């Protein structure tokens, strides 16, 4: 698992190096703000790809005495850092594009290389985003998913820049700066989605879909009279689940243990890389009166 994750992220690093260098050279040659903004975007993608590479190397390390729940949140922290890097890109793009539009200095040199670099970028980005999305989904990796979003964003932003180049080729040079602003808008939307999810995980926000799945699974066991204090948190690709269940008070310790084992295995079969902690309690009126029902 770790080898595949490291391999796909390492390839992304090399892809980002190629795209950043290619775009920067052509952007400086033509003076195209659209291409230069793409070069900066790809440059930060390179930084993000490097962060992702090291984060997936750390996140799969097993739990130890200092990190009892493993190192999974390294991936979520990585995704948050990538969000800030994208925001930095947006600030520069908006500033430079606004400057050009307000000053009227929007003239750029269009050449065949302008189209070659943008089209090449789209092809590479499609290939990389597909590979990263596949691995991210396979291993439930938020860091790799963030990297995939970076390359997916590049596809749309490169398409916008390509449109701007086509318009500039017909004398509408201001279209290049407008294309750069549209790139910034696209990146901001991705930033919001990526940052919100990373912060939710870092703050241990309970994943709504997982809670519903666990509740439906528990409802399938007739031995459970009722349950409460259901808590779910995620860290990277790992999910930690805690719940209190009430069983018949006359069950033997062995029977209770077997029921809990069966429940844990069933939840584990439905939620990959999950750790389930079940606290069993007797179903008697005194015990119920001391419990606060949990509607989670």
> What is the average per-residue pLDDT within 245-255?
92
For 2-202, CATH gives 1.20.1510.10
Distance CA(5)–CA(7), nearest Å, equals 5
Every domain of the chain with CATH number 1.20.1510.10 lies at 2-202
Q: What is the mean pLDDT of the chain?
A: 81
pLDDT band at 296 (very low <50, low <70, confident <90, very high): very low
Nearest one of 134, 179, 151, 196 to 48, comparing CA atoms? 151
For 208-289, CATH gives 3.30.70.1350
> What is the average per-residue pLDDT within 55-82?
77
Q: Is the pLDDT score of 293 beyond 70?
A: no
pLDDT band at 258 (very low <50, low <70, confident <90, very high): very high
pTM score above 0.85: no
Distance CA(165)–CA(204), nearest Å, equals 45
Every domain of the chain with CATH number 3.30.70.1350 lies at 208-289
40 near 89, Cβ under 8 Å? Answer: yes
Q: pLDDT for 147-202, tens place per residue? A: 787 777 778 777 777 877 788 777 777 777 787 787 788 778 878 887 888 888 88
């Amino acid at each position: 698992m770790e080898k595949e994750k490291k391999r796909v992220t390492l390839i992304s690093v090399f892809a980002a190096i190629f795209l950043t260098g290619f775009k920067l050279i052509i952007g400086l040659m033509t003076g195209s703000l659209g291409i230069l903004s793409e070069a900066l975007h790809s440059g930060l993608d390179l930084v993000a790809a490097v962060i992702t590479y090291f984060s997936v190397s750390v996140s799969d390390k097993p739990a130890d005495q200092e990190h009892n729940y493993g190192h999974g949140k390294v991936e979520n922290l990585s995704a948050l850092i990538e969000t800030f890097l994208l925001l930095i890109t947006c600030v520069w793009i908006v500033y430079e594009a606004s400057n050009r539009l307000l000053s009227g200095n929007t003239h750029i040199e269009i050449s065949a290389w302008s189209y070659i670099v943008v089209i090449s970028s789209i092809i590479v980005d499609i290939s990389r985003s597909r590979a990263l999305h596949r691995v991210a989904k396979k291993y439930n990796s938020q860091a790799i998913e963030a990297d995939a979003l970076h390359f997916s964003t590049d596809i749309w932003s490169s398409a916008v820049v390509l449109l701007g180049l086509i318009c500039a080729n017909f004398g509408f040079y201001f279209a290049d700066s407008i294309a750069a602003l549209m790139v910034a808008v696209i990146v901001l939307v991705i930033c919001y989605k990526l940052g919100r999810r990373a912060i939710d995980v870092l703050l241990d926000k309970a994943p709504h879909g997982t809670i519903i799945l666990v509740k439906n699974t528990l409802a399938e066991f007739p031995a459970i009279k009722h349950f409460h204090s259901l808590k779910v948190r995620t860290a990277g690709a790992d999910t930690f689940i805690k719940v209190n269940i009430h069983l018949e008070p006359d069950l033997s310790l062995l029977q209770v243990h077997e029921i809990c084992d069966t429940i844990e295995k069933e939840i584990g079969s439905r939620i990959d890389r999950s750790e389930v902690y079940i606290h069993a309690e007797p179903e008697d009126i005194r015990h119920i009166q001391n419990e606060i029902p949990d509607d989670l």
